[in-house]
Chain A
Amino acid sequence: MAEEQKKVRFVIERQDGPNDKPYTQEFDVDYRPGLNVVAALMEIQKHPVTVDGKRVAPVTWECNCLEKVCGACMMVINGKARQACCSLVDKLDQPIHLAPARTFPVIRDLLIDRSVMFESLKRIQGWVEIDGTWEVKDAPIQNPYTAATAYEISHCMTCGCCLEACPNVGPQSDFIGPAPTVQAYLFNLHPLGKFDAPKRLNALMGKGGITSCGNSQNCVEVCPKNIKLTTYLAQLNRDVNKQALKNIFNH
């Protein structure tokens, strides 16, 4: 068939550095079946020419696993925070708008700095204390239903979609965001981690902790791993409130 090669138009919000003004550039990419946003960005790297014929520096962006399991390629596509690697061109309205997730500091173009999330994970003690380096014969017994819940929450890949969608995360608030908060619950469910639950719950009582959540529930709508964030936030609210009472009466 002598069909014209279809082109896909990308409108990309770019920025040369953290303190530079954003600007838009448009690129056309050859369509092929199954094309996703990451593959399109790779094509732009091979031929970094705008629709006006201007030869420009290729778009800076991040990607890793290509299978929606690492979270590196999170960006705002047509207004929604999502992973670029599994955003299929066929399913998106064209022209496709790409922008960085501005709730995080922008390093350049679509590249953002999410280290704040990892700092938050440290704040909520997002790990299990291990006794020592000696051999432990048998693992502690775990409730299989609890384990299923923990498995669901363990899918979190720290992509930052929920922080981008949350109206309470940003320069106007200290909120650490839904992801690190729910991760505290993950470690509270662990048979050994649960011994440090008071520490984690107290951390969530601090500045930017769970009280900064205003219940907009955007997070659960955008989570690419379908983690029931609002359910676990409600459970954590319960647990934190109980811990607060304990703090008062045990003081």
Chain B
Amino acid sequence: MEEARQQTVDEFEKILQMNGPENAHQLHHELGDIMYKYVSVERDNDGLAECVEELKKILKRWDNIGITDRGHWANQEAMFVRQLRNMIIYAMAITQSALQRDESRGAHAKIVLESDYAKLDDDQKAALQKKYGQFHFDKETGRGMTDDGNNDLVFFERNDKQFMRTTIVTFDKEHEAPVVSYREFEHSLIKPRLRNYAVAKKE
């Protein structure tokens, strides 16, 4: 217990010594900006991959934070710097998990890119064609969009076979990157169904 306490104290003291050029709140703002840009509800693999790289850079920049408040009394800045590192790591976990989850589920709606479509099997392609009708891939973004004039985005279908699993993320300290794996969970008693509040559920 004492060892753990000392570890935390040392961590805090190290933060108090930081004197680089970056400002933690400014970095936090930038973190928010890129997460908002690439990891909102509707996301695609190109954006997510880009975000993973940006987050790695932001994590490196965390080491360059300089704090102006070196006191031990009610030091909100030092507290925030410590929390910020964890925020960045969590952001990486979220982004990496989203990148690897090639389906749409709940608040994770993945847009089909031209590069993704090529990797789908025939059944999956047929399902998309049935749902969206004719669609094309945008020249600039590569995103699937319907041909009916509305340019609605084409999203991956839900893929229970591959992805109805709990995501487990561990942090590889050496490479400073998240590692995603999956774990099965017990779902034999309830048959998974579409979350559609517009219709009454059939038992």
Direct contact between A and B judged by beta carbons closer than 8 A: yes
How far does the Cβ of B72 sit from chain A's closest Cβ, in whole Å? 10
Chain A residue total in the interface (Cβ 8 A): 15
Secondary structure at the B interface, as helix, strand, loop or mixed, is: loop
Contact with B along A158-174 (1 / 0, CB 8 A): 00000000000000000
CA distance A46 to B29 in the complex (A): 9
Interface pair B68/A57, CB less than 8 Å apart: yes
CA distance A17 to B73 in the complex (A): 7
From A111, which residue of chain B is reached at the shortest CB distance?
Answer: B74
How far does the Cβ of B154 sit from chain A's closest Cβ, in whole Å? 36
Interface pair B71/A46, CB less than 8 Å apart: no
Q: A46-B25, A46-B26, A47-B23 are in contact. Are A60 and B68 (CB under 8 A)?
A: no
CB of A16 within 8 A of chain B?
Answer: yes
CA distance A111 to B76 in the complex (A): 11
CA distance A55 to B73 in the complex (A): 19
Q: List 19 A-B contacts (CB under 8 A).
A: A16-B71, A16-B73, A17-B74, A42-B25, A45-B25, A46-B23, A46-B26, A47-B23, A47-B26, A48-B68, A56-B68, A57-B68, A57-B69, A57-B70, A58-B68, A58-B76, A60-B76, A107-B74, A108-B74
Chain B residue total in the interface (Cβ 8 A): 13
CA distance A229 to B177 in the complex (A): 55
B1-44 CB contacts (< 8 Å) to partner A? 23, 25-26, 29
Interface pair B26/A58, CB less than 8 Å apart: no
Known: A45-B23, A47-B26, A107-B74. 4 other contacts (CB 8 A): A46-B29, A55-B68, A57-B69, A57-B71
Contacts of A58 in B (CB 8 A): 25, 68-69, 76-77
How far does the Cβ of B74 sit from chain A's closest Cβ, in whole Å? 4
Contacts of A48 in B (CB 8 A): 68
Contact with A along B39-81 (1 / 0, CB 8 A): 0000000000000000000000000000011110111110000
Contacts of A56 in B (CB 8 A): 68
Interface pair A57/B29, CB less than 8 Å apart: no
A60-84 CB contacts (< 8 Å) to partner B? 60
How far does the Cβ of A19 sit from chain B's closest Cβ, in whole Å? 11
Contacts of B25 in A (CB 8 A): 42, 45-46, 58
Interface pair A60/B26, CB less than 8 Å apart: no
Interface pair B68/A108, CB less than 8 Å apart: no
CA distance A57 to B66 in the complex (A): 11
How far does the Cβ of A16 sit from chain B's closest Cβ, in whole Å? 7
From B66, which residue of chain A is reached at the shortest CB distance?
Answer: A55
6 shortest interchain CB distances as A-B pairs: A57-B69, A108-B74, A45-B25, A46-B25, A46-B26, A57-B68
CA distance A56 to B70 in the complex (A): 10
Interface pair A57/B77, CB less than 8 Å apart: yes
How far does the Cβ of B66 sit from chain A's closest Cβ, in whole Å? 9
CA distance A58 to B74 in the complex (A): 11
Contacts of B76 in A (CB 8 A): 58, 60
Contact with B along A101-130 (1 / 0, CB 8 A): 000000110010000000000000000000
Q: Counting chain A CB atoms within 10 Å of each CB, which of B25, B71, B75 scores highest?
A: B25
CA distance A6 to B180 in the complex (A): 47
CA distance A212 to B68 in the complex (A): 45
CA distance A108 to B76 in the complex (A): 10
B65-102 CB contacts (< 8 Å) to partner A? 68-71, 73-77
Contacts of B68 in A (CB 8 A): 48, 55-58
From B70, which residue of chain A is reached at the shortest CB distance?
Answer: A57
CA distance A154 to B74 in the complex (A): 31
Interface pair B74/A60, CB less than 8 Å apart: yes
Q: A56-B68, A57-B68 are in contact. Are A108 and B26 (CB under 8 A)?
A: no
How far does the Cβ of B87 sit from chain A's closest Cβ, in whole Å? 15
Contacts of A57 in B (CB 8 A): 68-71, 75, 77
